[in-house]
């Protein structure tokens, strides 16, 4: 699998899980298989919550707002951790920016 | 009539001599495999859609191809199995000089791939049972699966399988199907054959010491736990480390008996199937003080230590 071109995520970027994966909840965690690379990934409970939110297209700002409402964490740290996770998921082919929502 | 064998819960009919329990003569074969002609020395890979391909090194590889006539399971430079489209019939063709290997392939690898084609994932595992409970040992070749099974069988356990474990979901978890009833020991563990009666031991076509052990074929043992042996020359005690559900799921997928899937259907099926297995059965790493020599009390200690994390 060719690594996707890097994306600069902004609050307005709409993201969702890739159709080229399958995943299953394992307790509070999430196991994911990328179908093109055949690689397995695991998400901890917070990552699994992000994954759950991204089951449908959402903006980064929407995901961030939900996390801030659900977890006691400073906003800047939450944003940094979320963006780091989104970059990793995207590089692994697990996340896409839907074409209709891609910036012009 | 073509001889019929009971393997992994299947009735396998074949004209090749297998070292496996006989099936009831009234049993309808799930799969009939007949010896076919020898492959030419320059036998090409069949054309079609490659469903799986894996290279294990040391010249051992396998390739499953969907062909116009059914499926081809090719072991390069060794043999080819050609399954009919309905998977009920097959022929097996040796490469020049490889006919002796055919029974070994039929005893484990071929039924494994066939089961996967039917939607039944199989673990790369050895397994033993005692008092109706089964323990499975998963891992790549050479990680100690057979050695663990041999140690426990030497101390009263019943052999379920040595290489491929077919599980069947049941109301109380999973039941284990019996394999051919033979343990294949690596040279480093061949001394373990001394635990058993001399008439159990033999040498396989690939030069390994084998032990033919009686297997119970009545009630299928319930799987209590799955362990990943971690042989250690420095450890002095057994250490059991229970894996998280995600880690358990990854290891089960990594130690499937049929690997290298490129077709999406079997890949999805395996992921979901092993995920459910990880939810229902504990999976743990087991650090084992390794031999030979093995401590005489090791098998007993394994059973007592493992009792704490079994279901």
> pLDDT for A19-54, tens place per residue?
999 999 999 999 999 999 989 999 999 999 999 999
**Do B281 and B146 share a structural domain?**
yes
**Do B223 and B273 share a structural domain?**
yes
Task: Tell me what pLDDT residue A104 has.
Answer: 47
Instruction: Annotate B95-142 with DSSP letters as a single string.
Output: PTT-GGGHHHHHHTHHHHHHHHHTT--EEEEEEEEETTEEEEEE-STT
Provide the domain limits for residue A67. 14-101
**Do B85 and B16 share a structural domain?**
yes
Residue with tokens 């492959």: B39
Last residue of a domain, one of B61, B88, B117: B117
Nearest CA in chain A to B269: A22
Chain B residues in contact with A33 by the CB 8 A cut-off are 253, 267-268, 271
Interface-testing mutation among B265, B271, B278, with chain A (most A C-beta atoms within 10 A): B271
Evaluate whether B136 touches B173 at the Cβ level (below 8 Å): no
B253 vs B245: CA distance, rounded Å: 12
For residue B279, give the nearest of A26, A33, A35 by CB distance.
Answer: A26
Task: Tell me what pLDDT residue B286 has.
Answer: 93
pLDDT at A78 over 50: yes
Over residues B40-77, the pLDDT tens digits come to 998 888 999 999 999 987 778 999 999 999 999 999 99
Residue A80, SS3 per DSSP: helix
Stronger pLDDT, B306 or A72, i.e. the higher one: A72
Evaluate whether B206 touches B215 at the Cβ level (below 8 Å): no
Over residues B7-49, the pLDDT tens digits come to 999 999 999 999 899 998 888 999 999 999 999 998 888 999 9
**Do B156 and B281 share a structural domain?**
yes
For residue B245, give the nearest of A29, A38, A40 by CB distance.
Answer: A29
Answer whether A24 sits within 8 Å of B268, measured CB to CB.
no
B269 vs B118: CA distance, rounded Å: 11
Kindly report whether the peptide bond that precedes residue B308 is cis, defined as omega within 30 degrees of 0.
Answer: no
Task: Tell me what pLDDT residue B103 has.
Answer: 94
Residue B175, SS3 per DSSP: strand
Q: Kindly give, in sequence order, each residue whose CB lies less than 8 Å from that of residue B276, ignoring residues fewer than 6 positions away.
A: B169
Provide the domain limits for residue B79. 4-117
Last residue of a domain, one of B117, B133, B152: B117
pTM: 0.91
Answer whether B249 sits within 8 Å of A33, measured CB to CB.
no
For position A38, which CATH number holds? 3.90.930.60
B215: confidence class by pLDDT, cuts 50, 70, 90: low
């Amino acid at each position: 699998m060719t690594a996707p071109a890097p994306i600069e995520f902004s609050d307005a970027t709409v993201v969702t899980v890739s159709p080229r994966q399958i995943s299953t909840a394992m307790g509070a965690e999430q196991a994911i298989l990328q179908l093109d690379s055949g690689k397995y990934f695991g998400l901890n409970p917070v990552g699994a919550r992000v994954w759950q939110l991204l089951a449908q297209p959402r903006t980064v700002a929407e995901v961030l707002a939900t996390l801030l409402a659900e977890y006691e964490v400073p906003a800047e740290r939450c944003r940094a951790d979320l963006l780091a996770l989104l970059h990793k998921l995207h590089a692994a082919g697990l996340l896409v920016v839907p074409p209709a929502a891609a910036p012009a | 009539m073509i001889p019929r064998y009971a393997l992994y819960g299947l009735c396998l009919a074949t004209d090749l001599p297998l070292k496996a329990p006989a099936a009831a003569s009234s049993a309808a074969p799930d799969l009939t495999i007949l010896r076919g002609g020898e492959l030419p020395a320059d036998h090409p890979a069949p054309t079609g859609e490659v469903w799986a391909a894996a290279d294990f090194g040391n010249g051992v590889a396998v390739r499953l191809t969907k062909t116009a006539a059914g499926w081809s399971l090719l072991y390069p430079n060794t043999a080819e199995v050609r399954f009919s489209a309905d998977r009920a019939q097959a022929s097996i063709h040796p490469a020049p000089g490889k006919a002796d290997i055919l029974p070994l392939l039929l005893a484990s690898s071929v039924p494994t791939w066939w089961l996967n084609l039917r939607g039944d994932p199989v673990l790369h595992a050895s397994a033993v049972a005692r008092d109706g409970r089964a323990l499975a040992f998963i891992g790549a070749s050479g990680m100690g699966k057979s050695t663990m099974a041999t140690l426990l069988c030497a101390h009263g356990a019943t052999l379920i399988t040595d290489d491929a474990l077919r599980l069947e979901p049941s109301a109380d978890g999973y039941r284990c199907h019996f394999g051919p009833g033979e343990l294949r020991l690596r040279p480093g563990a061949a001394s373990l054959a001394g635990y058993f009666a001399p008439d159990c031991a033999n040498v396989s076509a690939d030069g390994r010491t084998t032990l033919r052990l009686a297997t119970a074929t009545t009630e299928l043992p319930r799987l209590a736990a799955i362990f990943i042996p971690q042989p250690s020359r420095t450890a002095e005690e057994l250490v059991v480390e229970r894996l998280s559900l995600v880690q358990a799921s990854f290891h089960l997928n990594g130690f499937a008996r049929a690997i290298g899937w490129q077709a999406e259907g079997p890949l999805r099926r395996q992921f979901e199937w092993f995920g459910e297995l990880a939810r229902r059965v504990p999976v743990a790493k087991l650090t084992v003080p390794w031999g030979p020599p093995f401590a005489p009390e090791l098998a007993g200690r394994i059973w007592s230590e493992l009792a704490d994390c079994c279901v």
